[in-house]
């Protein structure tokens, strides 16, 4: 079962059980997926689906930061709940050591030696991560390991 199908099944269950938070979070993810499919003109592959869910999580995290500044505890709790729901559909995140191992492998494959070669490494690395680490974490790890070499 694809991630999109899992989302649709979960939405049906949320509607039946009247779980408003779950329903809202899944609908936002599905609407982002639908928009991307319309723009692309075809169904998305699994990697693209995971990227959209990652973007929704990131959006909620940014909303939490803004809500903290505004002192809106209700928004913070709501967005944290939505993040938890969306993370159910993402693969288990890589640990720091696992990410560093992936980065070292990509560095070796690309032949990168200097921080200027970061683009070569990222080109190899990003498709391998598939929602298990975000781009910021990956680029930080690449930068750190390229400076050590």
* CATH homologous superfamily of 3-87: Uncharacterised protein YqeY/AIM41, N-terminal domain (1.10.1510.10)
Neighbours of 109 (CB within 10 A): 12
How do the domains of the chain map onto residue ranges? 3-87, 96-148
For the CA atoms of the chain, what is the radius of gyration? 18
Q: In this structure, are residues 79 and 63 in contact, taking their beta carbons and an 8 Å threshold? A: yes
Walk along the chain (149 residues) and give the pLDDT tens digit of each residue: 789 999 999 999 999 999 999 999 999 999 999 999 999 999 998 888 988 998 999 999 999 999 999 989 989 999 999 999 999 998 888 888 999 999 999 999 988 888 888 888 899 988 888 778 877 888 889 988 888 65
Under CATH, which architecture does the 96-148 domain have? Orthogonal Bundle (1.10)
Rounded Cα distance between 79 and 16, Å, is: 22
């Amino acid at each position: 079962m694809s991630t999109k199908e899992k989302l649709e099944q979960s939405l049906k269950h949320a509607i039946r059980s009247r779980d408003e938070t779950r329903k809202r979070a899944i609908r936002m993810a599905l609407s982002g997926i639908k928009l991307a499919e319309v723009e692309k003109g075809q169904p998305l592959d699994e990697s693209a689906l995971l990227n959209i869910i990652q973007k929704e999580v990131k959006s909620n995290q940014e909303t939490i930061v803004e809500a903290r500044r505004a002192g809106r505890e209700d928004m913070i709790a709501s967005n944290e709940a939505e993040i938890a729901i969306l993370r159910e559909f993402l693969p288990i995140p890589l640990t720091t050591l696992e990410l560093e191992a992936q980065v070292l492998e990509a560095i070796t494959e690309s032949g990168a030696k200097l921080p200027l070669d970061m683009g070569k490494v990222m080109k190899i690395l990003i498709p391998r991560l598939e929602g298990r680490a975000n781009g910021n974490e990956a680029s930080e790890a690449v930068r750190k390991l390229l400076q050590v070499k």
